[in-house]
Each structure stands twice: as structure tokens, then as C-alpha cells.
């Protein structure tokens, strides 16, 4: 089946009302992070059902879908790539990983990152050198920085926290709320598995963490502890400078 035919199937499944809701929810207005994105109004379960029925697809079709202006087509392509990676041999996995990283400009909303980064980038780097994460974290592209953070979820699930903590420290000064949310979410996941490790990070950086990042990170902590960390986030200028200096010292790439 061609990419065009698959997109027509998506359009046939969609509804104008859901498309309007998605356009608003995913911030597609002028100046917003999803500016110009197009939705046909298909639910995620419907997209997953199509993946089930169409798998496997040739690489050229998946790539054409990933380059589509239609959001749900890109979502379908990424879910198909995740399944291809999971079921492929070593050579197939190398191809999927390379295709993913050379096409990040089309992985351009938080749901597209979150459904794929852990299962392709994280899975691929689990037993390999992880320098690619630092390159992604240093990218001017918001979505590549989010990919770096979300990829570490694969490690977190396996009790490996160092990369998450390093990248969260590196991105403390990031200007994007979607990065604050991603870093806080990953820190919360670390805390669910190793509260002591999360507390070491928070004790070091809570004063200078973006408020959203901190709130996400401490969401599962006892109320008294949450209040204490939030109160601590009122640093003096010297405390802010010291905390930023520590973050730079902790980051071997700087």
C-alpha cells in the first residue's frame, strides 16, 4: 500500500470536530510549538489499529508517511518504526535507528517524541556508547532535546539513572516548557524507583530548577517534602550562580 493510500484511509477515519480539538490541544497556532501542523481527526487507538493491519511496511513508505504534513501519518510511521525496530534483527535495527535520527525535523510534537524515543533511541543505546544523547541535548531543536530526555526512560526502567540525571542538570537552563516537563517527568520516574537518587539531585538543584520541572519531579513525594522543595526554590543570586556552576561542572560535555 502506498503512503497516499494510507493517508486517505486516515482521512476517512477522521472527524472535523476531533481535528479541531487536536489543532488546539497540540498548539498549532501562529508562534506556538506545533505551528502549522495538520490533523485529520483520528484517535490514537485507530492509528494503532491501522499499524496492526498494515505491518510490515517498506522503509520507503514509512519514510513518506513520516514526511507527511498530516500529524497522524507521522504518528503511524513512528509507531510502525517502533514495531519494526522491536521485531528486527541487528541490521534492521541499525537502519531504523539511523533513519530516526536523520529525520528528527519531522518528529515535531511531544506525542511523536514520547511514543518513539524510548523504544528506538533508548533501546539502541542501552548497550552502546551514549554520546549521541549529549549531542541531541545540545541541539537547538526543541524536539531533539526532548528525544534525548525521553530516550533515557528505557534506561530508567532498567535501574540506570546516570544519563537522566546528567541530562536533567544540563538542561536546567532550557527556555522551553516542554523540556521542563520532560525533565521533571523523567526525574519523577527516577524517584519512583530510587527516591534517594532523586533527592540527591533535588537537594543540589531545586533552588534553580524551573518551577514546572520541580513540580513534576516531586509529584510523588509526601506533601511536607514537596512544600520544602518549593520553598527552597527562592534562591539568592549567589545561590543561583553556585547551582549553575555545579551543573556545568557535572556536565562533561561543557
Per residue in 88-125, pLDDT (tens digit) is: 999 999 999 999 999 999 999 999 999 999 999 999 99
What residue ranges define each of the domains in the chain, with the CATH number in brackets? 1-114 (no CATH), 116-254 (1.25.10.90)
Collapse the DSSP code of 22 into the 3-class scheme (helix H, G, I; strand E, B; otherwise coil) and give the result. helix
pLDDT at 247: 61
In angstroms, what is the C-alpha Rg of the chain? 20
Cα 189 from Cα 179, distance rounded (Å): 15
- 38: β partners: 70
pLDDT at 234: 66
- Eight-state DSSP code of residue 8: H
Report residues of the chain scoring pLDDT below 70: 234-254
How wide is the angle at C-alpha 177 spanned by C-alphas 175 and 178, nearest 5°?
115
pLDDT at 232: 84
DSSP3 helix / strand / coil % (the chain, rounded to 5): 70, 0, 30
- Show the cell assigned to 8: 486517505
User: Which residues does 68 contact at the CB level (< 8 Å), separation at least 6?
Assistant: 3, 7, 74, 77
pLDDT at 1: 86
Which letter, b or e, does each residue of 211-235 get, where b requires 16 or more Cβ atoms within 10 Å of its Cβ? Answer: eebbbbbbeebeeeebeebeeeeee
pLDDT at 184: 98
pLDDT at 248: 62
Amino acid at each position: 500500500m502506498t503512503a497516499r493510500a494510507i493517508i486517505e484511509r486516515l482521512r476517512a477515519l477522521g472527524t472535523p470536530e476531533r481535528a479541531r480539538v487536536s489543532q488546539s490541544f497540540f498548539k498549532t497556532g501562529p508562534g506556538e510549538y506545533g505551528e502549522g501542523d495538520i490533523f485529520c481527526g483520528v484517535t490514537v487507538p485507530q492509528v494503532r489499529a491501522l499499524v496492526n493491519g498494515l505491518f510490515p511496511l517498506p522503509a520507503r513508505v514509512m519514510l513518506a508517511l513520516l514526511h507527511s504534513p498530516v500529524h497522524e501519518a507521522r504518528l503511524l510511521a513512528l509507531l510502525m518504526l517502533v514495531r519494526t525496530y522491536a521485531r528486527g534483527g541487528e541490521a534492521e535495527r541499525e537502519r531504523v535507528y539511523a533513519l530516526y535520527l536523520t529525520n528528527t525535523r519531522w518528529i515535531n510534537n511531544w506525542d511523536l517524541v514520547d511514543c518513539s524515543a524510548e523504544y528506538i533511541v533508548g533501546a539502541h543505546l542501552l548497550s552502546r556508547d551514549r554520546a549521541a544523547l549529549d549531542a541531541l541535548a545540545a541541539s537547538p531543536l526543541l524536539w531533539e532535546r526532548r528525544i534525548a530526555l525521553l530516550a533515557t526512560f528505557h534506561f530508567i526502567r532498567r535501574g540506570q539513572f546516570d544519563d537522566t540525571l546528567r541530562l536533567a542538570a544540563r538542561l536546567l537552563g532550557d527556555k522551553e516548557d516542554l523540556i521542563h516537563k520532560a525533565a521533571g517527568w523523567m526525574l519523577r520516574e527516577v524517584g519512583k524507583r530510587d527516591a534517594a537518587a532523586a533527592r540527591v539531585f533535588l537537594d543540589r538543584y531545586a533552588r534553580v530548577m524551573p518551577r514546572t520541572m520541580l513540580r513534576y519531579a516531586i509529584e510523588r513525594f509526601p506533601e511536607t517534602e514537596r512544600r520544602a522543595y518549593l520553598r527552597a526554590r527562592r534562591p539568592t543570586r549567589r545561590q543561583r550562580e553556585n547551582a549553575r556552576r555545579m551543573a556545568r561542572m557535572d556536565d562533561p560535555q561543557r
